[in-house]
Every structure is written in C-alpha cells, then in structure tokens.
C-alpha cells in the first residue's frame, strides 16, 4: 500500500494540477489583501486566518503530496498542528482568565 506512495503521488500529480493550485494560491492572496482593507471587526482575523489555513492546506495536500501519502505521514503532519493548537489553547486560557475572580465584587 504505502510502499508505492510516491509512484502514486506522481501518478496523480500533473502540470495542470500544479498550475491550478498555483492560480488558487494567487487568487486567495488577492482576497486576503482585499478583505483586510474592509473593516469586519473581529471577523477580519477570522477571514485572514481562514484563508491562510486554506492556502496552507493546498500547499500541504498537493505541492507536498500529502493528498496521496500514507496514514503515517498524515498523522505526523497533523500532530505538528495539534500540538501547536494545544500550546495556543492553554496559553490563552491562562492570559484570558487572569482578570477573572472567583470572588464576586
């Protein structure tokens, strides 16, 4: 199965596919710039990060061949992001709750 992981990847990957991903990344860059110039309040961050994650996913899935990779590679890629999420979550749960008090008033 995963033994022909790369034969697989290059069997699926093609120049038109790479060109398509390249074009999609350029379009998303344009959207990021345009969206940043409009004031959506906190949603500016949601839009900017949403687009950034979409772009990252395109690069990882196609340019980095993870779309056609075995489960072990997907697990390793995912673990990097999961642990980054854990770092950010617990860090922010500390900073956000510092001003809270268990005693009312």
Partner 1 sequence: MSAHGTFLRHHFANPEQQKESAVLGMWVFIAQEILFFGGLFATYLVYRTSYPYAFADAAGHLDWKLGAVNTVVLIFSSFTMAMAVHAAAHGKHEAIVAWLLATILLGAVFLGVKAVEYGDKFEHHLVPGRHFQYTPHHEANLAADPDLAKHAQLYYSLYFGMTGLHALHMVIGIPILGWIAWRASRGEFSAAYDSPVEITGLYWHFVDIVWIFLFPLLYLIGAH
Residue appearing with tokens 């500016």: 44
Listed in sequence order, the residues at least 6 apart from 66 whose beta carbon sits closer than 8 Å to its beta carbon are 60, 73, 74, 77
Question: In whole angstroms, how close is the CB of 8 to partner 1 at the nearest point?
Answer: 11
Positions in 15-34 near partner 1 (CB under 8 A):
15, 18-19, 21-22, 25-26, 29, 32-33
Told to check if 4 binds partner 1 by CB under 8 A, we report yes
Told to check if 91 binds partner 1 by CB under 8 A, we report yes
Question: In whole angstroms, how close is the CB of 13 to partner 1 at the nearest point?
Answer: 6
Positions in 35-74 near partner 1 (CB under 8 A):
36-40, 44, 48-49, 51-52, 55-56, 59-60, 62-65, 69-70, 72-73
Rounded CA separation 64/48 (Å): 23
Q: What angle do CA 26, 75, 32 make, to 5 degrees?
A: 20
8 Å CB contact between 65 and 9? yes
Question: In whole angstroms, how close is the CB of 101 to partner 1 at the nearest point?
Answer: 19
């Amino acid at each position: 199965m995963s033994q022909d992981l790369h034969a697989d990847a290059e069997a699926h990957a093609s120049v038109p596919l790479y060109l398509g991903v390249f074009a999609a990344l350029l379009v998303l860059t344009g959207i990021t710039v345009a969206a940043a110039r409009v004031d959506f309040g906190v949603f500016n961050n949601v839009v900017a990060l949403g687009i950034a994650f979409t772009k990252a996913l395109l690069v990882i899935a196609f340019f980095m061949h993870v779309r056609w990779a075995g489960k072990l590679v997907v697990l390793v890629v995912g673990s990097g992001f999961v642990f980054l999420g854990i770092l950010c979550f617990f860090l922010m749960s500390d900073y956000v709750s510092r001003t809270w008090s268990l005693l009312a008033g």
